[in-house]
Structure 1
Amino acid sequence: MSRAVDLPGAAHLVLADGVVHLDPEPAVFQAMLDGWARQQRTRFLDEDGTIKPRMSVVRRFAEFTNQYPWQWEPAEVEAFIDYLRSRRKTFAVSTGRNYQNALRMFCEYITDARYGWPVRCLERFGQAPVQILHEWNTVTHSSEYEGEADRRPLTYDEVQDLFDAAEARVEEIRARHRKGSLAALRDAILLKTVYAYGLRRQEACGLDLADLRRNPKMPHYGRFGGLFVRYGKSSKGGPPKRRTVLTVPELDWSTDLLDQYLEEVRPAFSPDKHPALWVTERRGRMSLRRLDEAFETARRAADLPEELDLHGLRHSYVTHLVEFGYPEKFVQDQVGHAYASTTAIYTGVSDEYRNRLLQQVLKEQHAELWEDDET
C-alpha cells in the first residue's frame, strides 16, 4: 500500500486515523474545511479577505442543502444561486460568480485524489464527493464589468456638494457647542484626500506619517509631493501592492488641507507616537467602517443619490484625470491597476468632455472651416 502524500490539507493530516466520532458526518465536513483552509494558507492567501469569505460560502451552501459535500449534486447549487437571486434583487453577477468560484474550488479540493477525501468518504459513507459546478451551470464571463449598473463616478458638482456638506457639518457642530467638531473636520479632510489621490478604503486608513513623500520635480509641494501607498489591493497569494501616488496640479489644494490637518487637527487628538496618519479620538488608527460612515454622513447631508459610495470618489478621480488630459498609462499607475482595461472600466467621462474632444478633432481635420467660422 502506497504511503499517503503529505500535501497541506491532506485528509490524513486533519482527520485522525482510528478515532471513532459519535457524529462522523459533521466531523469529516469540519476536517474538510480545516484542510482546505490549511491548503489556502500555504499559498499565502489572505485570511480575512479571501479564506474566511470562501469558507462562509461553503458553510452557507451546506446549511441551505442540509447535506454534506459527498452528497452534493449540481441541482443543489443551481437551486442555491436561484434562491439567493430571489431573495435579493441587487444580487450582482460578480457576486454570483464569486459564490460559484468558491464552491467550485472547494469541490476541486475534496475531489482531488491526492488529498485523500474521495477514499475516506467512500470508506465511511459509501459515497465520494463530485464536482458540481461546470461550464453549463456557472456564470459566463461575457463582460469586463459585472458590478451593479447604478454604480458610477460622482460628477464635479456632486463632489463639490459632498465636500460642502462635510465642511458645513463642522460649522454646525461648532455652532451648537457640541463635541465632535474636531472629528468632523478630520473626516472632511480625509474625504477630500481620498478623492485627491484616488485611494481605496484600506489604502487611506493604512497610511502612516512616514508615507508622506516629497517630489523632487515639484519642490513647492514640500512633504506633500505624493503618498506612498503600502496597502494596495493584492493579487491572489501575493502581498499588498505598493505604489507612490503623485500630487497632480489640478488637485494640489489637497496639500494645504493636509498641512492644516498635521499642524492643527491631528495634534489635538493627542496621538503621542502613533504612526497612523489618520487617528481617532481614542488615539487609534481610523477604521474602514468609520471612513464609510464619514462618507455616508456627508452624502446624506448633501442629499446625493443613495447608489453613490465612497469607492465612487476613486472612480471620480480616474475620470477627472482623464478629462484633465493625463495619459492613460499615468492614470493607470496612479491608481495601481495592473491592466489598462480595469482603468477604462472606472472611467465615465462627461458629455461636455467628449464634445470638447470632437470639436478638437474637427478643428484639426477642418482647420479652414473653423477659421472661416471664427472670422
Structure 2
Amino acid sequence: MSDVVSGFVPRMLLDPDIGLFRADERVFTAMLDVWQAQMLARGLPSRTIKQRYQLLERFQRFTGEFPWQWRPADIDEFLADLRSGEKPISLRILRSYNNAVAMFCSFLTHPGHGWGKFCERTFGDILSRICFEWNMPRHTTDDAVPARKRSFTKAELQRLFDYLDDLVDQEYAAGSKRAPPVTRLGGVQSLLRLRASPA
C-alpha cells in the first residue's frame, strides 16, 4: 500500500524531497486555499468566500493552534469572547461564524480530501470536528431577526385576516359600493385605498 495521500492535498506538500519549513503555517494556508477553491467551484459569492477565509484565519490566531489541534472548547471560547465584548456580535453572526468553522472542519475531515491521513502522518495528530449540535447556536424563529424585520407569526397573520374579514363585513353591512371590489380584489392595499376614498 502506498504512503501517498490521495485527495486534495497539494502535491508540493506530499513530496518527501521537499522539507516543510514552518510546516504548520504552510499546511494551514494550503488547507484554506483548497477550501477556497472548493467554494469557488460550488459557485459561492466571492464575498462569502473571503469572509469565511478571513474568519478561519482569525479563529486560528485566537486559538494559537492549527486545525489538527483544535478542540470543541476552542470554538466555545472564541464565540463566547465575541459575544461578551464591548460590541457583542448578533446571534445571526454568531451562527454564521459557527457554521463556517463547522463547514471547514467537515471539509478537512472528509476522507476523500486526504487531509486526515496527511495530518496524522505529518504532525502525528488527527483532524476532528469541533462543532456539534450541543455547542452550536440553535436557529429559532424569533432569536436572530430584529422585530422590525421578522416575519409575521401565525397568530399575527390570523389577526390580520380576521381584521380584513371584519372590514369586508362592515362594508357589506353598510351597503357600500366598496364591498364587491374589496372582496374580488382581496388585497390589503386595495381595501385600505377604497376605505380612504369617499363612498
> TM-score w.r.t. structure 2 length?
0.72
Contact 2:9 2:113 in 1 (8 A): yes
Letter of the 1:44 counterpart: G
CA distance in 1, matches of 2:111, 2:36: 18
Letter of the 1:95 counterpart: I
Contact 2:109 2:128 in 1 (8 A): yes
Give 5+ residue unaligned stretches, structure 2: 177-199
- Assess, with a 3 A threshold, how the Cα gap between structure 1 residues 35 and 15 changes in structure 2: closer, same or farther: farther
- Assess, with a 3 A threshold, how the Cα gap between structure 1 residues 91 and 116 changes in structure 2: closer, same or farther: same
The residue number in structure 1 matching 2:167 is 360
1:342-361 equivalent positions in 2, closer than 5 A: 344=151, 357=164, 359-361=166-168
1:140-219 equivalent positions in 2, closer than 5 A: 140-143=138-141, 146-149=144-147, 152=148
Give 5+ residue unaligned stretches, structure 1: 153-314, 316-341, 371-375
- Assess, with a 3 A threshold, how the Cα gap between structure 1 residues 17 and 52 changes in structure 2: closer, same or farther: same
CA distance in 2, matches of 1:61, 1:80: 7
CA distance in 2, matches of 1:32, 1:117: 8
Letter of the 2:30 counterpart: A
CA distance in 2, matches of 1:90, 1:97: 13
The residue number in structure 1 matching 2:194 is none
- Assess, with a 3 A threshold, how the Cα gap between structure 1 residues 20 and 44 changes in structure 2: closer, same or farther: same
Q: What SS does the aligned partner of 1:139 have?
A: coil
The residue number in structure 1 matching 2:75 is 77
1:316-335 equivalent positions in 2, closer than 5 A: none
For residues 216-247 of structure 1, the C-alpha deviation after alignment (integer angstroms, 9 at most, x for no partner) is xxxxxxxxxxxxxxxxxxxxxxxxxxxxxxxx
Letter of the 2:40 counterpart: R
CA distance in 1, matches of 2:162, 2:103: 47
The residue number in structure 2 matching 1:31 is 30
Q: Which has the higher contact order (CA 8 A, sep 6+)?
A: 2
CA distance in 1, matches of 2:143, 2:164: 25
1:124-143 equivalent positions in 2, closer than 5 A: 124-143=122-141
TM-fit CA distance, 1:147: 2.7
CA distance in 1, matches of 2:33, 2:170: 66
1:228-307 equivalent positions in 2, closer than 5 A: none
- Assess, with a 3 A threshold, how the Cα gap between structure 1 residues 112 and 26 changes in structure 2: closer, same or farther: same
TM-fit CA distance, 1:17: 1.6
CA distance in 2, matches of 1:356, 1:38: 53
Contact 1:107 1:131 in 2 (8 A): yes
- Assess, with a 3 A threshold, how the Cα gap between structure 1 residues 147 and 89 changes in structure 2: closer, same or farther: farther
CA distance in 2, matches of 1:45, 1:34: 15
CA distance in 1, matches of 2:119, 2:87: 38
TM-fit CA distance, 1:16: 4.4
The residue number in structure 1 matching 2:65 is 67
TM-fit CA distance, 1:139: 1.0
For residues 251-290 of structure 1, the C-alpha deviation after alignment (integer angstroms, 9 at most, x for no partner) is xxxxxxxxxxxxxxxxxxxxxxxxxxxxxxxxxxxxxxxx
CA distance in 2, matches of 1:65, 1:146: 26
CA distance in 1, matches of 2:140, 2:121: 42
CA distance in 2, matches of 1:34, 1:106: 11
- Assess, with a 3 A threshold, how the Cα gap between structure 1 residues 75 and 17 changes in structure 2: closer, same or farther: same
CA distance in 2, matches of 1:94, 1:356: 33
CA distance in 2, matches of 1:358, 1:105: 48
CA distance in 2, matches of 1:364, 1:14: 78
TM-fit CA distance, 1:64: 0.6
> TM-score w.r.t. structure 1 length?
0.40
TM-fit CA distance, 1:357: 3.2
TM-fit CA distance, 1:85: 0.4
Q: What SS does the aligned partner of 1:99 have?
A: helix
Q: What SS does the aligned partner of 1:71 have?
A: coil
The residue number in structure 1 matching 2:19 is 20
Asked whether 1:56 is paired with 2:54, we answer yes
CA distance in 2, matches of 1:14, 1:357: 68
Letter of the 2:167 counterpart: Q
Q: What SS does the aligned partner of 2:68 have?
A: helix
Contact 2:92 2:144 in 1 (8 A): yes
Identical counterparts, % of pairs: 34
TM-fit CA distance, 1:67: 0.5
CA distance in 2, matches of 1:102, 1:17: 30
- Assess, with a 3 A threshold, how the Cα gap between structure 1 residues 128 and 4 changes in structure 2: closer, same or farther: closer
